[in-house]
Amino acid sequence: MTILAPTTHETRLLAQGLTLPTVAPTPIGAFRNLRRSGRRVYVSGQGPVTADGTFLRGKVGADVTTAEAREHARLVALNILSVLREEFGTLDAVGGLIKLVGLVNAVPDYEEHPQIIDGASEIMHQVFGEAGIHARTSYGVGSLPNRITVEIDAIFELAPGV
């Protein structure tokens, strides 16, 4: 007889072949990556920074395509998850995702922001399943720190007992 372990966020992450950075990005200023308040966790705006510290830069609609920026949004989502795992030791400390705010560093006539931020939303659904269903606001900003292409912040609920 095979006993199946319950599906957890960490097992779903593995099953999807997703890998998180072992160290969360360093905050670029006088703030923390994460602030807990009661049952909620506010994650600071994260960017597309690679494991070696490289910022993915450019203006979407000019230097960077929608498809490229969508990949950047996936990287940002993984960085957000790495912040949670670094703080709590495991993604299974997360009860659910409440909201994402997705910012795209785009030219003034850009229109496809949702397609980019979907890259992050889809990662959240893959990892958290039903608990990944979230509210979202996406828009184009005038500029971003270090001229990165995408910045995303998030609000999560904690799992019971955490």
Binding site for a copy of itself (CB under 8 A): 27-35, 37-40, 42-45, 59, 96, 98-101, 103-115, 117-118, 121-122, 125, 133-147, 151, 153, 155, 157
Partners of residue 98 on adjacent β-strands: none
Tell me how far, at minimum, the Cβ of 104 lies from a copy of itself, in Å. 8
Dihedral sign, Cα of residue 30, residue 34, residue 40, residue 46 = positive
Tell me how far, at minimum, the Cβ of 22 lies from a copy of itself, in Å. 22
In 5-93, beta strands by DSSP E: 34-37, 40-46
Tell me how far, at minimum, the Cβ of 51 lies from a copy of itself, in Å. 21
On whether the CB atoms of residues 78 and 20 are closer than 8 A, the answer is yes
How many Å separate Cα 24 from the centre of its chain? 12
Tell me how far, at minimum, the Cβ of 128 lies from a copy of itself, in Å. 12
How many Å separate Cα 61 from the centre of its chain? 22
CB of 13 or CB of 100, closer to a copy of itself:
100
CB of 2 or CB of 37, closer to a copy of itself:
37
CB of 91 or CB of 140, closer to a copy of itself:
140
Give SS3 for 97: strand
